[in-house]
Amino acid sequence: MAQEKKEKQPSVLSRLMPYSGNYQVFAYISWILAAASAVFMLLVYQNIWKIVQEAVTVAPDFSTAENIEKNAWLVLTDSLLSVILYIAALLCSHMNSFRVASNIRQKLVQHIVFLPPGEKDRIGSGALRRIISDSSEATETYLAHQLPDQYKSTALFIGLLILMFRSNWKLALICLIPAVIGFMAIMSMAGSGLREKMTQYQNALSDMSNEAVEYVRGIPVVKTFGQTIFSFQRFKDAIDRYSKWAADYSVSVRTPILIYTVAINTTFAFLILAAKMFTSSGISSEFLSDLLFFIIISPIITSMLTSLMSTNKTKMTVEDALNRVDSVLNIEPLQTSNSKHIENTSIQFENVTFGYDKEHDVLHELSFQIAPGQTYAFVGASGSGKSTIAALSARFFDPREGRILIGGVDVRDIPKEELMNHISFVFQNTNLIKGTILDNIRLSKPNASEEEVLEALRIAQCTDIIEKFPQGIHTVIGAKGVYVSGGERQRLAIARAVLKNAEILILDEATAFADPDNENKIQIALTNLAKNKTVLMVAHRLSTIKNADCICVIENGRIKESGSFAELTAQGGLFAFMWKEYNQSVEWRLNHDEKMA
């Protein structure tokens, strides 16, 4: 069982080395050079011991000393050799670590390109950035600095132990007492508990990074509508969770860290007490030289122990970083045979079951068919699965069971480029890149002329947006540029879809957050866009779907009702109830606005 567990959880080093490629040899060379550096450092301490011994022996007549000068030169020479070897070790370790970090980043980016778009949204751009950047950086620190230091400290510690016991075994044992106390204190908070806490720490940082990205993206909205930071509750909650975790963790490790810090820094005090105990009947020159030697090297023991403890902590950080890297690499990329082509613009779901995790299904054996040129609207409560249907139709995810056909062909058999060429989509959360309006609209058709872009903007009711900026379509949006409102951003996204002019259109709550003026313009733009197209529409405002060929009411991932607007309202079922509630909310809002006016 233990062997099986070990195979399932390979060591950090064995997981890192495959990323080294041909540079793996530099890692081994760095460890050898670091250990060799420790050997010359041991020679330094040995020669210092000889100097102390001779100085105590000949005192106070130092003119009779024969080897002090020679040993002093040996100390200088060995010190220089130790430093040179250690620098060479770091050069080699850095060459390997840079290659490892670079290969991890490249492998991640190349893999992410082929992931389902929905998976990237689910992870979050902030979390992906941290995994690509910070996780690879953690491995770089571990390989470049921590591992050479570990080999040097281990060799130096073993060598010093031998040297100490050769000098005076009693004082050596006294020196080890605080080291053992400190080690036991640290080990009390190590193991699986510390590993779990490190994972929680990284999760908290990842959540904050994700929410920070979303908050920064929403700053224009905050400025426009005068909202406070509390409007971004998830960001605040992420900060609060991290703050609470940090405070709780600091309190939990306070005692062992205090014991460790005090213990490893009191070696000198233990030696003084030992000297008083061992020299109650007088002190010999031999014991005095040994005591002075131990006093000199006691800070070195403290430094080595701290280095070894730090390496263990960094190792856990790297293990967590590799787990996060693997969590992305283990996501299956979109598979396609690239062998079949779309025959028409129909959309068909056949017994589709899908969930964002294995425990909970969002859609359950869902089936429907949209004929070419038809408009299907999907309505339902939040969390019913409406947006999931839109995401699956654009192949942002693949279904767990069943299949989705576009033009009579399983989407998994359609080349990615061909599928995207046949589909345009406008979602409620539309992103614009930092660039000109022209650049943003051209994303759907890079070779489009300025005249084509202007015509698309006109059809999408964006003329007023362009006219209010002196530079027109060459106006820069984003950092150090202008900002547009949410409704204006939606209309620009529609212009992008107009320019693409794909035969299939997917709309997901395209008017959900628009103000009345923008909603009217967006509705006109969508009507222009949807002409002669197959449309799959996820609706929030029921007034926008009255003319749909078919309305499907989704409840708990299944189609509860379906039919035309007239048929559903006449049935007196769930949709009729939703329509009644919607009209009452609209009437209340109108009356409320009149009173406010």
191-205 tens-digit pLDDT: 556 566 666 776 676
Q: What is the pLDDT of residue 276?
A: 78
Residue 127 lies in a domain: yes
Residue 13 belongs to some domain of the structure:
yes
550-596 residue pLDDT tens? 999 999 899 999 999 999 998 888 888 888 887 776 555 545 455 44
Mean pLDDT (the chain, rounded): 81
Q: Is the pLDDT of residue 277 over 70?
A: yes
**pLDDT surpassing 70 at residue 84:** yes
Give CA torsion, residues 451, 453, 458, 460, to 10 deg: 160
Looking at the fold, whether 37 and 162 belong to one and the same domain comes out as yes
277 shares a domain with 207: no
Burial of 576 from C-beta contacts in 10 A (0-12 / 13-18 / 19+): middle
- Could you tell me the two tokens for 354? 């899908």
CA angle 314, 316, 322 (to 5 degrees): 105
Confidence of residue 238 (pLDDT cuts 50, 70, 90): confident
Residue 590: what pLDDT? Answer: 46
Pairing of strands 558-563, 550-555: antiparallel
340 within a domain of the structure (yes/no)? no
260 and 371 assigned to the same domain: no
Cβ neighbour number for residue 572 with a 10 Å cutoff:
10
Among residues 486, 495, 499, the alpha carbon closest in space to that of 526 is found at 495
Which among 211, 233, 252 is the end of a domain? 252
Q: Supply the CATH number for residue 440's domain.
A: 3.40.50.300
Domain co-membership, 288 together with 320: yes
What integer pLDDT is reported at residue 592 of this predicted model?
47
Task: Out of 284, 302, 329, pick the residue that ends a domain.
Answer: 329
Q: What are the helix (H) ranges across 332-445? A: 386-393, 416-422, 437-442
Report the C-alpha gap between 197 and 203 in whole angstroms.
10
Q: Are residues 30 and 177 in the same domain?
A: yes
3-state secondary structure (DSSP) of residue 361: coil
Domain stop point among 329, 363, 382: 329
Q: Is residue 334 a part of any domain in this protein?
A: no
Average pLDDT over residues 285-312: 75
pLDDT of residue 217: 56
Residue-level pLDDT at 170: 83
Judge if 178 and 212 occupy the same domain.
no
Predicted structure pTM score: 0.65
Cα 542 to its chain centre, rounded Å, is: 38
133 and 279 part of one domain: yes
Share of the chain above pLDDT 70, in %: 84
Counting the structural domains of the chain, the total is 3
Distance CA 62, CA 65 (A): 5
More confident residue, 101 or 265: 101
pLDDT at 88 over 90: yes
Residue 165 lies in a domain: yes
d(CA 278, CA 30): 43
- 49 and 96: one domain? yes
Instruction: Tell me the average pLDDT across 358-368.
Output: 89
Contacts of 236 (CB under 8 A, 6+ apart): 229, 230
Q: Is the pLDDT assigned to residue 224 strictly greater than 50? A: no
Report if residue 341 sits inside a domain: no
Looking at the structure, tell me whether residues 149 and 239 fall in a common domain: no
CATH code: domain of residue 82: 1.20.1560.10
Which range marks the domain in which residue 490 is found? 347-596
Instruction: Tell me, yes or no, whether 337 lies in a domain.
Output: no
**Pair (246, 294) in one structural domain:** no
Per-residue pLDDT tens digits for 171-180? 888 888 887 8
Would 310 be classed as within a structural domain?
A: yes
Pair (324, 450) in one structural domain: no
Residue 296 shares a structural domain with residue 371: no
254-264 helix and 233-252 helix, angle to the nearest 10 degrees: 50
Q: List, for residues 139-190, the tens digit of each pLDDT value.
A: 888 899 888 988 888 888 888 888 888 878 888 888 888 878 877 877 776 6
